[in-house]
Amino acid sequence: MSSKTHPAVCDPEALDRIFASFDQCRLPGAAVGVAIEGRPVYRRGFGLANMELPVLLTSATRMRIGSTTKHFAALAFMLLCEEGRASLDAEIGLYLPELHPANRAVSMRALLGHTAGLRDVFQVSMFMHGMGRVITDAELLEYYRTMDDREFSAGHGWSYNNGGYLLLSAAIERISGQSLEEVLEQRIFAPIGMYDTCLRRWETDFLSSSASLHMLDPQGRYTKATMGMELTGAGGVVSTMDDMLRWLSHMDAPRVGSPETWKQMRAPQPLANGTFTTYGFGLVPDRYRGVETLSHAGGVIGGNSQMIKVPAAGLDVSIAVNRADANSIDLAFRVIDACVPGLQPVPQARPDPRVYGMYRSARTGRVIEWVSLGDSPFIRVDGGMPMGLVPGEHGTWRLAPMFSFLGQAVRSDGTTLWFSEFGEQDTLERVTAVSEVRLGELAGCYTAASMHVQAHVFEEGGRVRLTTTGRFGEARYALTPLGAEVWQASALDPLSPLGGVLTFAPHGRGFTLNAERMRGVHFERAG
């Protein structure tokens, strides 16, 4: 008799229905692996590996798993700790002494758990220079030699940070004297038998049995656009769903990594205010419809992936898609719905329509837009991607399971919005729509010296624009007034999802930029 409290079952026809829209031979699609008690029960591919060739996806096709890479990089560092060659409590400056003093004095533990408070150079680079720029790890590391401020003090907040895993990758290579490819292959992939899994830094090389990524252009057509950045420990691994099922099974009784290592990998991180994050070291311990889960998703330009375990059901799920208009996280939850009996019902409610609108915090400059998309409530924080909401307690709305690890919740009476994030509270007031605001003395050039970025605010054809120019190129944004000195930025690059909020100092002496994972960037008036 199974000891599981929610023993999983597999109905292949029910799973086929979940992926029915991908089951065709002219567009990209999805690869799927499902296992119960470590035994694969569903291994299928749907759609094309590449729209230029009549090759169908399978569970043995190599696909990008994006940020799911992070727990492999974290484990590689933990193995060095087991050997006494590294320490979680060592500062990153011990391994990378060339960093600016503001960035050297954070622990490896904080980097792995996203509590370091350093700026995310991936976010900085994509916002300041646009998408698709060819940029190496070494070039991105240069930011940490010059940037002289942080998002917050280490341990006093949580913010998902790809740049922290860039630093982790560099530290692993310095300590081991090997490339990250060699470390992952020799210490993790080969011992588990994951022979089709490897680190792939660039999309420009050739790798056998690999699926291509497919981005969408403004007309809804698939394109070959890519992120352009070198990808290592933050998101560079490619794998097959068959290999990922081997890995998920291994996680139940690990042969690579000590019990103490895996305990720490899975453990949420404590914060200075007494709360805990919902993130370990590259792993997300969370709950879905009343059952515990362990997961990590990954996104890249033109595709995404989800790796998730439901221990109480003995269920492992790995899904990757090679198209921008599909969501592997949602697909994985639908697989769980189909395979796990006795789950708690999904909350069904809608907020009072009066809460919809835009709100701004006078204290932090944060701007939150609460909107209805397809009759479902969503919020956008500082111009970021829309995140779904589900009802919580006492009139509070929390992030839907797809985003719950971010620890955010909102409540509003239609005039004031209360925002919480891992125990930290912020109060925002409704922004009244403005009919017209003149740019006036806000126009001009500004600089963020430590980032080597120049911003130009100007009028063009009756519209207000922001151009940011730095080390690797230029990005352009449309500016929309929220008030006389507060403007919302929206990317003009159709492939970029990035946006933000500019709050100008009186008389245009400077402005502060808040974006999704980039807060409090100060620009001073040039000249």
pLDDT confidence of residue 37: 97
Check whether 352 has a pLDDT greater than 80: yes
Average pLDDT value for residue range 138-156: 95
Note the pLDDT tens digit of each residue in 113-131: 999 999 999 999 999 988 8
Q: What's the rounded Cα separation, in Å, for the pair 370 and 194? A: 44
Q: What's the rounded Cα separation, in Å, for the pair 397 and 320? A: 29
Cross-strand bridge partners of residue 287: 292
Which residues lie closer than 8 Å to 222 by C-beta, 6 or more apart? Answer: 27, 28, 51, 214, 215, 216, 323
Here the tokens at position 448 are 């963020």
Q: How many CB atoms lie within 10 A of CB 371?
A: 13
Q: What's the rounded Cα separation, in Å, for the pair 415 and 435? A: 20
**261 in Cβ contact with 78 (< 8 Å):** yes
Note the pLDDT tens digit of each residue in 224-249: 877 789 999 999 999 999 999 999 99
Q: What's the rounded Cα separation, in Å, for the pair 291 and 62? A: 30
Long-range CB pairs of 521-524 (<8 Å, 24+ gap) are: 521/119, 521/124, 521/448, 521/451, 522/149, 522/448, 523/446, 523/447, 523/448, 523/453, 523/455, 524/446, 524/447, 524/448, 524/449
Q: What's the rounded Cα separation, in Å, for the pair 496 and 425? A: 30
pLDDT confidence of residue 2: 54
Q: Which of 111-125, 283-297, 344-358 has the lowest mean pLDDT?
A: 344-358
Here the tokens at position 68 are 């799911």
DSSP class of residue 28 equals B
Q: What's the rounded Cα separation, in Å, for the pair 490 and 469? A: 16
| Residue 433: pLDDT band with limits 50, 70, 90 | confident
pLDDT confidence of residue 434: 83
- Could you give the C-alpha distances from 174 to 26, 81, 199, 521, in angstroms and in order? 45, 14, 17, 30
**113 in Cβ contact with 98 (< 8 Å):** no
Average pLDDT value for residue range 459-486: 93
Tell me what the pLDDT averaged over the chain comes to: 95
- Could you give the C-alpha distances from 49 to 30, 320, 390, in angstroms and in order? 9, 11, 35
pLDDT confidence of residue 314: 98
Q: Put the strands of the sheet holding 63-64 in their side by side order.
A: 63-64, 237-239, 198-199
Q: What's the rounded Cα separation, in Å, for the pair 196 and 61? A: 9
SS3 254: coil
Average pLDDT value for residue range 400-429: 96
| Residue 1: pLDDT band with limits 50, 70, 90 | very low
Here the tokens at position 17 are 């229905």
| Residue 494: pLDDT band with limits 50, 70, 90 | confident
Q: What is the dihedral of CA 16, 19, 25, 28, to 10 degrees?
A: -150
Cross-strand bridge partners of residue 340: none
